[in-house]
Every structure is written in C-alpha cells, then in structure tokens.
Chains A and B, each alone.
Chain A
Amino acid sequence: MDLTLSRYHQARLDLVSGIKALVGYQISPKVRARYEKWAADNAVPEAKLRDRAFLGGQVGRDPLYQASRGLQRITQEMMWREVAAALEAQRRELESDLDRVVSGNGSLTLDPSLKLPAYFTETEFHLQPGGLWRDPLTGPIYEIGVQHFNLHRFGKSGAEMGLALLQAVAGRPVTRFLELGCGPGYKMYPVLDAYPQAEANGIDLSAALLKYAHRRALDHGKTVHYRQMNAEALDLPANRFDLVYNMILLHEVPVAATRRILREALRVLEPGGLYADLDLPAYRDLDPFTAFMMDWDTDNNGEPFWRGYHELDMKQEMIDAGFTDVRFVQVTSDALKNQGNYQGKWSYRVVLGTKPRAAS
C-alpha cells in the first residue's frame, strides 16, 4: 500500500508534531523544574506529592503547565484530522486495496458476528475519531498518526516496543506465539524476525485494523495468521502457544476485562509457556511528577482505562490468574533517552508470568 503523503499535507503534520515537540522538549522540562524547586523549597512529603488533587492545585496554576495542556489537546485533535485529510484523496484506492483478496502467506479471518464490547466501540482512543474500528482507513490513519504522536522517536519502522519485548523474553525458544490486540501488526515484526520458524498469530477486535495488518504483512513478506477475536474470550484451544503477549493493550480495557484476558492467556498457553505484558510502568514505580503528568491522559486523551491499569497491582493480578514465576522486567527505551513526554525517566515495563506445568 502506498501511504506516502503530498508535501503539502506532510508540512501540516510536521507543524502539528513540531508543537508537540515544543511541549515535550521545552515546556514540560520547565514545568518539571518549577515543580521540583517548589517541592524542595517547601519540603513537601512524598505522600502529598502523590495526591493528584493536591498536586493539581499547585502545578495546575502554572501558566506554562496550562499552555502545555491546551496545546497537547489541540494538537492531538488536529493530528488525527490532518492525517485523515491527507489520506482522503487516496481513500477510494486505499479502501479497495484493503478489501482486495491477495494471495500470499498467512491468513485473515474476520468474524462479522463478533460482538464488540461497549468500552471499545464507545471510546475514541487517543482521540482518534471513530475510535479504532469505525473508519475503514483506521489502520493507515493510526500508523501515520502514531508516528507523529511519538515524534518519530521509535524509528521509521516503529520497532522499538517489539525489540523491548524481545529483550524481556531473552532468547527463549518459541515455536508458536500469539499477540493479543495486535492492531496494525507492525510492532510484531521484530518478534517475527527473531523467530522466523515460529507460527505467528495475532488477534484483535478491530476488523479494520486486522485488514490493514494482513495487507501490510503481505507487503512486507511476513507470514502471520490474523483473526478477529475478543482477547477476553478467545476462540482458540487450550495449551496451544508457548508465548502469548500483548503490547499496550491492557491500558485500553477496564480492569475486569484485564482479569479475563489474563485468564484466557493462561488457558491458551501450554504448560511452561510464557505470558508477557508490555506497557508503561505503574504510577507507583514512577516519580510523583511523571505519574501526575501521565495521568492527564485518562481524562483528556481518550484513555478512560489508563489510570485503572497504571494503579493495578499487576503482580497480584497475575498470581490470582494462576501464573507462577511472576516478575517485572524494565526495559529502558533507547529512543527516549530519558526525554519522554514529561521528561520522566520512564521506560517500558514487561510483566512476565509462566503457566504452571501442573495446570492445563
């Protein structure tokens, strides 16, 4: 698929991400510096700093903070609008390209009877209009939008999360794996490249994203079996995979769904198989300012389940779901170089757990 944009539209997108960069690299560090000075000058205890309402009362008054939040919200909305406008001229060709049955390796199995959960259909995640399913061009729009959202930090191929996951999985042998909530699918490519002999499977709720993932995989010579399913109730046999993982899926679902997903992951893993959840760390593992700044997305960036996930005790959840050998691995992002959106030193957290050999 040809996803190149005209110079005119690319310029519009460049400007929008330029303002995001101004917020991320210039304004946010100053907001943090003022916060740090205030916290030190007043010897504010950590418990107070972790009180969001209290911190909001302080940081929220800073005009720099207000400017950064206004700009963040506006540019996020503009970003999606600009991407969609940029692709509009190609819409007909792109849609028919996505619908065209192309023979090749791998497969795509859609389930038009699948009931999509309300938390999924009713949320415009990251403020993407139509959410992650309504627009047939959801996939291309998502991929281009995310590149600008991330300020191109994760490289042209967007491979960073996949590489981080591999670092946590640490070279263990894999013969058949499953990615839950695979979306447009490209973040799986490093895993495919690391395990070229393995059978690769991806599931997602969104038919639009899966169509794009399938088409993209064919274009890139990748062999993946994509199926439309709800990760909370997998239409897959038990004991089938030696690796099941998801990347930034669980912060998009309510806690009750996370619990069902963990149980399903355990069921479809073979005994001794590994489950991995890659996401950003829990608030409690971040400094109070970074946690405060991150939490903004819950109410302002189409992330209603963000706070719930980042406050969850994932170790306990994994144990309750039946996993053993539960542990966290922190992978520091090379691309971020400690310059994340809020200048926090965050990296990825990978939660790992094993299916007990005695369980089935």
Chain B
Amino acid sequence: MSAPVPDYVADLPKTELLRIIVALSTEVYAMADRMRGIEDILAARGIDLASLDAPTDPAAFDEKRKRARDDFVQRVFGSLTTLG
C-alpha cells in the first residue's frame, strides 16, 4: 500500500501556479517555434541557421504564425475554457 499523498501545496496561491504555467509555456513555445524554424531552414537550404534569427516586424502578424500559435495555446490551455 502506498503512502497517502497529502495536498503538499494546499496553501500555495493558485495564481502563482498559473504564473509558472504561463512562464513555462512561453519557454516551451519559444523552443518549439525555434525548432520549426530550424526544420524549415534545413529543408529549404541545408544547414544555414543564420537566418533563424532574421528580424521580424512586431507590427505585422502573419496568418501562418498566428495559426501555429493558436493551435499551441489551445493544446496547453484548452481545458481552461471548459471550467465550471
């Protein structure tokens, strides 16, 4: 019989947990995006990784980027939209 698991973090504010999730997903997302970029580059031109950090215009928001982002947010946070 395994030892019961008490709620070790019962008094940890949930907002702080949410903050960590958001921070973590930002890290993961940025890495996933970077991977996609590497794959694109490798596929198109061999191993020239320099253009991976090509500047982007923050004022513009292209549809491909938006779709990838929204899919990701949905996968990670989708369960929140059905609370209650």
Of all chain A residues, the one with the shortest Cβ separation from B20 is A74
B80/A8 in contact, CB under 8 A: no
**Min CB distance, B18 to chain A, in Å?**
5
A19/B70 in contact, CB under 8 A: no
14-40 of chain B: CB within 8 A of chain A: 14-15, 18-19, 22-23, 25-26, 29-30, 33-34, 37
**Min CB distance, A60 to chain B, in Å?**
12
Interface string of B61-76 (1 = CB under 8 A from A): 1000110011011100
Interface of A is mostly: helix
- Contact check: which of B18, B65, B80 meets A74 at CB < 8 Å? B18
B60/A11 in contact, CB under 8 A: no
**Min CB distance, B33 to chain A, in Å?**
4
**Min CB distance, A318 to chain B, in Å?**
35
Question: Which of A61-69, A194-202, A233-241 lies at the binding interface?
Answer: A61-69
**Min CB distance, B16 to chain A, in Å?**
10
Interface string of A81-112 (1 = CB under 8 A from B): 01000100000000000000000000000000
A67/B80 in contact, CB under 8 A: yes
Q: Does residue B54 face the partner (Cβ distance < 8 Å to A)?
A: yes
Q: Does residue B58 face the partner (Cβ distance < 8 Å to A)?
A: yes
B29/A12 in contact, CB under 8 A: yes
Of all chain B residues, the one with the shortest Cβ separation from A86 is B58
B84/A64 in contact, CB under 8 A: yes
A67/B19 in contact, CB under 8 A: no
Whole-angstrom distance between the alpha carbons of A226 and B72 in the complex? 43
Using a Cβ–Cβ cut-off of 8 Å, how many residues does chain B contribute to the interface with A? 35
Provide the residues of chain A in CB contact with B33, threshold 8 Å: 7-8, 11, 14
Whole-angstrom distance between the alpha carbons of A44 and B56 in the complex? 50
Using a Cβ–Cβ cut-off of 8 Å, how many residues does chain A contribute to the interface with B? 41
Provide the residues of chain A in CB contact with B59, threshold 8 Å: 144, 147, 152, 156-158
Q: Does residue B53 face the partner (Cβ distance < 8 Å to A)?
A: yes
Q: Does residue B7 face the partner (Cβ distance < 8 Å to A)?
A: no
Of all chain A residues, the one with the shortest Cβ separation from B25 is A15
- Give residues in B with beta carbon < 8 Å to A: 14-15, 18-19, 22-23, 25-26, 29-30, 33-34, 37, 52-61, 65-66, 69-70, 72-74, 77, 80-81, 83-84
22 cross-chain CB contacts under 8 A = A2-B55, A4-B55, A4-B58, A5-B56, A7-B33, A7-B55, A8-B33, A11-B34, A12-B26, A13-B58, A15-B26, A16-B26, A18-B70, A19-B25, A27-B80, A27-B81, A70-B14, A78-B22, A82-B26, A156-B59, A156-B60, A158-B59
